[in-house]
Amino acid sequence: MKILVPVKRVIDYNVKPRVKSDGSGVDLANVKMSMNPFDEIAVEEAIRLKEAGKAEEIVAVSVGPAKAQETLRTALAMGADRAILVQTDDEVEPLAVAKILAKIAEEEAPKLIITGKQAIDDDSNQTGQMTAALLGWGQGTFANTVDVDGDAIEVKREIDGGLQTVKLSLPAVVTTDLRLNEPRYASLPNIMKAKKKPLDEKTPADYGVDTAPRLTTTNVSEPPVRQAGEKVEDVDALVAKLKAAGAI
Amino acid sequence: MKTLVYVEHDNAEMKDATLAVVTAASKLGEVHALVCGSGCAAVADQAAKVDGVSTVHLADDASLANQLAENVAPLVASLMESHDAFLAPATTTGKNIAPRVAALLDVMQISDILSVEDENTFTRPIYAGNAIATVQSSDAKKVITVRGTAFDKAAAEGGSAAVEGVTGAGESGLSTFVSEEIAKSERPELTSAKIIVSGGRALGSSEKFEEVITPLADKLGAGIGASRAAVDAGYVPNDYQVGQTGKIVAPEVYIAIGISGAIQHLAGMKDSKTIVAINKDEDAPIFQIADIGLVADLFDAVPELTGKV
Ligand SMILES: Cc1cc2nc3c(=O)[nH]c(=O)nc-3n(C[C@H](O)[C@H](O)[C@H](O)COP(=O)(O)OP(=O)(O)OC[C@H]3O[C@@H](n4cnc5c(N)ncnc54)[C@H](O)[C@@H]3O)c2cc1C
């Protein structure tokens, strides 16, 4: 089977985001960008399914600026077979990304789409579920473990009360949670090889998708800052403080 | 505006998360509640008593027993023909279902709202809560998930809504429920606990976590949380994780023990009223937001603290 893995270029998770003083957004100039960590987990899971003989081909897709090529090259270096960049400099909302992914899925006919559960920039947590809805496929969100068995996939999901297992008929969409796997680093030879792997360039218009945003961000501000309190000398002082604060 | 609130429940009891959503919805207009489940009439009765709810739609059907998004979303989408906004709690249930509804309605969802500014305008956290965006929706219908800690809870008593039966779309045939591992515990749930004791990587093992963190939590009647590192290492189950991609909590007191304070962790607890940090590294970032900090080895300090509270 073929697996489609969407990947997003986002601020690196180690960088502390800074809000621009004019309230127009978060300053991304000269900031380290990386693949969304949940998408790395998605790429890794696809590769593991391929290594286990359960998948033949992995296609990585990114909707984003020209620089998202780097993100796709990372996916290729990890082990994806080919890539599609749907290039646009506009900010594309999850709904429009899902529409593009659904169109690509109609062309490529994958049995499985593995997405990250959320991107760490907009924290929306929508794209996988929306893609599944548009395609009329089942969805296994927040996956902790997946098990492909013939024409079905069992997904153990991380939910608020613990874990839930569902069985989906294929094709289906899976979204990754943190415990699904630990993504590999691409080796130097694989990074070199990735440069020669095919990368198709498309635009949203090629898929007939209107990416005009439905949400307008009118302002981006800093959250209220918390001041550091004080350090106490010992446990007795801590207990006294807690009592004084009415905390215990 | 007529709103439809998704009631979070386990077929027996309505969950508290619902109450904050009712508050958010009441800022938009008339509040209807939707109970999807199987054998869940008792939940509908509870929802009918919530202050501010005017109608409860009860979809009681075997196909809805586990609230699979594939079965629930078409039902919600059809109810949205006569409602203007769908609001669900930003729990794993709400996050699973709402985007599926939004796509069926061709609406861009507004995730995890912190406030309702007007009918079309909301604030929401982005970048792990390091920025707050004000967003304006141009969609005719709204699909929204609500951050529970950002809204007061509506009173669970006082209302007397009518309960109306609605029929679901039945089995989608796309997914089936297999099993669930839900830990039953007497401990307060993280999202409603008044005090949370949270442990990090420094605990070193599940045995040590149990030995050091649990007695303090027991003594304080607290919920137990953890950092991602502690969950990844298997000290505690996944549902203990507090943070950007885990649970968002805002208790009266949050005690972070052996947790460094990565932005992803802070995203989940920085709205707690009083934050206490115990860490042996005086430069740990957690101290930058802690109200009370103790630089100490947790293996000495925590048992001592347990003895003294
Ligand atoms: C995509 C993504 C999502 C994430 N989501 C989350 C999330 O939701 N929640 C979350 O928590 N993390 C999340 N993380 C992980 C986060 O970046 C940190 O790695 C994690 O929070 C670190 O956990 P920790 O503080 O327990 O461990 P560490 O950072 O290793 O800190 C351990 C601390 O313990 C202290 N210590 C060690 N020994 C002792 C001792 N004997 N006594 C006292 N103190 C001691 C050390 O000084 C240190 O400060 C996410 C990361 C990514 C990439």
Domain that holds residue B244: 195-308
Identify whether residues B157 and B278 lie together within a single domain.
no
Please report the pLDDT score of residue B169 as a whole number: 81
Chain A residues with CB-CB distance to B239 below 8 A: 158-162
Q: Where is the domain boundary, B165, B185, B210?
A: B165
Which CATH number does the domain housing residue B265 bear? 3.40.50.1220
Residue A247 has pLDDT above 90, yes or no: no
CA-nearest residue of chain A to B89?
A160
Please report the pLDDT score of residue B247 as a whole number: 97
Which residues surround ligand 1 with Cβ inside 6 Å?
A 13, 37-38, 120; B 200-202, 227-230, 241-246, 258-260, 262, 264-265, 268, 279-281, 284, 297-299
Please report the pLDDT score of residue B272 as a whole number: 97
B259 is in an annotated binding site: yes
Asked if B216 contacts B197 with a C-beta cutoff of 8 angstroms, the reply is yes
Please report the pLDDT score of residue B183 as a whole number: 84
In a domain, B110, yes or no: yes
Identify whether residues B77 and B139 lie together within a single domain.
yes
Cα–Cα distance, B117 to B24 (Å, whole number): 10
Chain B residues with CB-CB distance to A169 below 8 A: 173-175
Give Dmax (Cα) for chain A: 68
Given the candidates 1.10.357.10, 3.40.50.620, 3.30.360.10, 1.20.150.20, the CATH classification of the domain at A2-244 is 3.40.50.620
Chain B residues with CB-CB distance to A226 below 8 A: 270, 275, 288-289
Is B157 exposed, middle or buried, given 0-12, 13-18 or 19+ CB atoms closer than 10 A? exposed
Share of chain B above pLDDT 70, in %: 100
Whether ipTM tops 0.85, in short, is yes
Cα–Cα distance, A130 to B189 (Å, whole number): 30
Within 47-86 of A, beta carbons closer than 8 Å to B belong to none
Cα–Cα distance, A172 to A3 (Å, whole number): 10
Average pLDDT for residues B271-286, to the nearest whole number? 97
Tokens of A60: 């990585």
* Nearest-neighbour CA in chain A from B305: distance (Å): 6
Identify whether residues B55 and B133 lie together within a single domain.
yes
Instruction: Choose from A123, A131, A149 for mutation: most chain B CBs within 10 A.
Output: A123
In a domain, B172, yes or no: no
- For the stretch A88-101, pLDDT in tens is 999 999 999 999 99
Strands (E), B38-114: 53-60, 85-89, 110-113
Identify whether residues B10 and B150 lie together within a single domain.
yes
Residue A248 has pLDDT above 90, yes or no: no
Identify whether residues B148 and B6 lie together within a single domain.
yes
Could you write out the DSSP letters of every residue in B22-47?
Answer: HHHHHTTSEEEEEEEESS-HHHHHHH
Contact A26 B131 (CB under 8 A): yes
Domain positions in chain A = 2-244
Cα–Cα distance, B92 to A177 (Å, whole number): 12
In a domain, B170, yes or no: no
Q: B175 C-alpha vs ligand 1 centroid, how far in Å?
A: 35
Please report the pLDDT score of residue B185 as a whole number: 85
Identify whether residues B161 and B204 lie together within a single domain.
no
Q: A220 C-alpha vs ligand 1 centroid, how far in Å?
A: 28
**Ligand 1 pocket test, candidate residues B235, B279, B304, most atoms within 8 A of CB:** B279
A162 touches chain B (CB under 8 A): yes
Average pLDDT for residues B136-150, to the nearest whole number? 98
Contact A167 B176 (CB under 8 A): yes
Cα–Cα distance, A27 to A48 (Å, whole number): 36
* Nearest-neighbour CA in chain A from B241: distance (Å): 9
Residue A76: pLDDT band with limits 50, 70, 90: very high
* Nearest-neighbour CA in chain A from B52: distance (Å): 26
Average pLDDT for residues B10-19, to the nearest whole number? 97
Using only C-alpha atoms, chain A has a radius of gyration, in whole angstroms, of 21
Please report the pLDDT score of residue B209 as a whole number: 98
* Nearest-neighbour CA in chain B from A147: distance (Å): 13
Share of chain B above pLDDT 90, in %: 97
Please report the pLDDT score of residue B184 as a whole number: 85
Identify whether residues B146 and B207 lie together within a single domain.
no
Average pLDDT for residues B172-198, to the nearest whole number? 94
Chain A residues with CB-CB distance to B140 below 8 A: none
Q: Where is the domain boundary, B144, B165, B186?
A: B165
Q: Where is the domain boundary, B165, B185, B216?
A: B165
Cα–Cα distance, A212 to B162 (Å, whole number): 41
Please report the pLDDT score of residue A245 as a whole number: 84
Domain count, chain B: 2
